Amino acid sequence: MLRFISGRLLKAVVILICITVLNFFLIHAAPGDPAAVMAGEAGDADPAFLQQLRERFGLDKPLYVQLWIYVSSVVQLDLGYSYRQQLPVLQLIGERLPATLLLSLSAFVISLGLGVAAGAFASARQGKWADTIISLVALIFYATPLFWLALMGVLLFSVQLGWLPGFGYETVGANYTGLARALDIFLHLILPAMTLGLFFMAVYARMTRASMLEVGRLDFVKTAKAKGLRPGVIQHRHVLRNALLPVVTLAGLQAGQLVGGAVLIETVFAWPGIGRLMFDALSQRDYNLLLGVFVVSAAMVLLFNLITDVLYRLVDPRIKVAS
């Protein structure tokens, strides 16, 4: 197991460097550079100003030199300096990461927990009312664009009913501390986390239901029934566990998106997370910051892929991890 993990980690580092190099060229292929954007914002520019900016950012050097400087600093765990925000990239990412993780993990837990429960419930009542309703609701959430759901959520719960705050991470200027602050953040979290969670919840529900129905038709379930086991025990101990494999795969994919997958929701709800940092960096051609976010999110994807592979073995001991 340890050998497997260390082997995978080594591969992950190589993949990460490849991704970094690829991203580097992709970003530089987009028209315009940060100096042009900053000159554009200044409302005034002269060639000396542009030259000054390009020199300051090292953009006057040949591309391969810039790449070499970047990759060698990434290897030393230094993600460089943000051109625009005039702060180290690691600091900027570090400031935003907790908010994103809180949002994404909450959405992850909501979607996985509720989705699997709803799917299991529906499969046990195949063809009945409960199944139809759950399947229909899941289909609606699956098909509705996230930003629309988000805006409707704000209109209903924030503008009309006034139950929940419609934007932000906490009440600005309230200066809550301790438990009061935690509660305040929790209230702000509900709408974005639910909205972000709904899509994956629908996916988990549909997948768990389908997978459980499929497993339910297998011979060992018939045997269990013939043995006289109670239906609840069969469903939970035998069917659900065997049906979880595709769910784990999907959870691994979702977890990989924890860092970069919430751009839209973060924008609508003014959630100070990393998704927005990435979007801003892209529109402003803040190369180092953008690459930094890519490196961090790629590392997350690789990490969760590894965790998924390990979980496979735990969920289903038949899978030989070493192979």
Could you list the residues that contact other proteins (CB under 8 A)?
30-34, 36-50, 52, 56, 81, 84-87, 92, 95-96, 99, 151, 154-155, 158-159, 162, 165-170, 172-173, 266-273, 276-277, 280, 283-285
Least gap, CB of 129 to other proteins (angstroms)? 37
Residue 16 or 39: the one with the smaller Cβ distance to other proteins is 39
Residue 200 or 287: the one with the smaller Cβ distance to other proteins is 287
Least gap, CB of 29 to other proteins (angstroms)? 12
The alpha carbon of 52 is separated from its chain's Cα centroid by a whole number of angstroms, namely: 38
Least gap, CB of 196 to other proteins (angstroms)? 15
Q: For residues 157 and 164, give the distance between their C-alpha atoms in angstroms, rounded to a whole number.
A: 6
Q: For residues 200 and 114, give the distance between their C-alpha atoms in angstroms, rounded to a whole number.
A: 10
What residues pair up with 81 in beta bridges, in sequence order? 88
Least gap, CB of 90 to other proteins (angstroms)? 14
Q: For residues 252 and 307, give the distance between their C-alpha atoms in angstroms, rounded to a whole number.
A: 8
Closest CA to 34 of 280, 218, 272: 280
Residue 135 or 284: the one with the smaller Cβ distance to other proteins is 284
Residue 112 or 290: the one with the smaller Cβ distance to other proteins is 290
**The residue to which tokens 């972000």 are assigned:** 196
**62 phi-psi bin (left φ>0, alpha ψ -120 to 50, beta other):** beta
Residue 16 or 191: the one with the smaller Cβ distance to other proteins is 191
Least gap, CB of 257 to other proteins (angstroms)? 19
**12 in Cβ contact with 6 (< 8 Å):** no
Closest CA to 243 of 116, 108, 111: 116
Closest CA to 279 of 270, 271, 290: 290
Residue 141 or 271: the one with the smaller Cβ distance to other proteins is 271
Residue 30 or 109: the one with the smaller Cβ distance to other proteins is 30
Least gap, CB of 264 to other proteins (angstroms)? 9
Residue 151 or 190: the one with the smaller Cβ distance to other proteins is 151
Least gap, CB of 96 to other proteins (angstroms)? 6
**181 in Cβ contact with 170 (< 8 Å):** yes
As given in the structure block, the two tokens for residue 296 are: 């961090």
As given in the structure block, the two tokens for residue 251 are: 């959870």
Residue 316's Cβ-side half-sphere holds a number of Cα atoms within 13 Å equal to: 18
- The residue type of 19 is I
Least gap, CB of 263 to other proteins (angstroms)? 10
Residue 151 or 245: the one with the smaller Cβ distance to other proteins is 151
Least gap, CB of 48 to other proteins (angstroms)? 7
CB atoms inside a 10 Å sphere around CB 281: 27
H/E element holding 74? Answer: helix 63-75
**250 in Cβ contact with 238 (< 8 Å):** no
